[in-house]
Structure 1
């Protein structure tokens, strides 16, 4: 647990559940930042340091790497699902939110490639389930006869776009993502997080 000093040097009272909730939130925030920079193989010790807690606290909340990755990636997927459920949402709108998450996080890109053996072994079956949720959401917005409607075409297209998302800045990654979608002939709405 993070220790905060008080002016007269006494240790603060144990906040119990409040501290546990704060620590968990800090760990998820730190993991999101570290995963965005280094992907899902980032050192757990770096995440604990960024959150300002010890590794023991990390392991109390997340018993292994897969549990922490799942907690972080769950929020990404939830935002894509929320964008999909918004009134009058279109495929382009949902792809815009999806693309924003791709440009923000190497870990989210890894999630969408969860069917490859390497990623499956790193973050487990839960990642595959999250990837399938994203695919279901997107398929729900595909009009009949859409060019991405064939069995693997939708996720293959997303993999192709995610492969193009490189660059040192978020703006550069966003520019490259938009160019990749344009070259593939797929309309994408504004690349931004879901603001519901």
Structure 2
């Protein structure tokens, strides 16, 4: 019987990435309170490796959230990307990570403020462009869009995965009637 060889420090970045991807899946399926052991199993690493990278559930959830936010910032920096492109990406993330978003809303963690500031900075130029083009009402602010994102996350957090996309699309349609031009 062959045993797994310990690849040591050279596997650290690969293991961390596998843990974040596994956490995203487990949290989407079972919520942020899902078993940490399931994350380690799905990532194909031992629990000791998981705890070396993420000493707490909160740090693991933050890693998932951070990865999502980096993707949003990357898309927001693309001059060809529109607010709709960003909201589509955020929608996909909400569908898979609503439990993570609501976890931090519940926790009231001060680190969340930094994430909110980064999200606002990413959205701001796209919201300005959407107002200029008439896609959004002149009075719509970045805070309005962030509130819509939070409302969507809360809305889908407890909806079964197979119904999340339809629920989010319906909610965006309703919200855009309120945020869009008169």
TM range (shorter): 0.7 to 0.9
Aligned to 2:150: 159
| Cα root mean square deviation, aligned | 2.5
Distance, in Å, in 1 between the alignment partners of 2:101 and 2:42 is: 22
The corresponding residue for 1:44 is 36
Q: Look up the match of 2:134.
A: none
2:77 equivalent in structure 1: 85
Residue 148 to residue 79, structure 1, CA distance change in 2 (3 Å): same
Check conservation: 2:102, 2:153, Cα contact below 8 A.
Answer: no
Which of 157, 168, 175 in structure 1 is aligned with 2:166?
175
Structure 1 residues 93 and 17: alpha-carbon distance in aligned structure 2, compared to 1, 3 A threshold = same
In the alignment, which residue of structure 2 is the partner of 1:64?
Answer: 56
| Count of residue pairs brought into register by the alignment | 170
Q: 1:126 to 1:175 in 2, by over 3 A?
A: same
Candidates 127, 130, 143, aligned match of 2:112:
127
Shift of residue 50 of structure 1? 2.2
Deviations 1:88-128 (A, max 9, x none): 222121111111111122234326xx4x4x322xxx43333
TM-score normalised by length of structure 1 = 0.73
Structure 1 residue ranges (4+ consecutive) displaced by more than 4 angstroms after TM superposition: none
Q: CA deviation at 1:163?
A: 3.3
1:103 is paired with a residue whose SS is helix
TM-score by length of 2: 0.78
**Structure with the higher fraction of residues in helix conformation:** 2
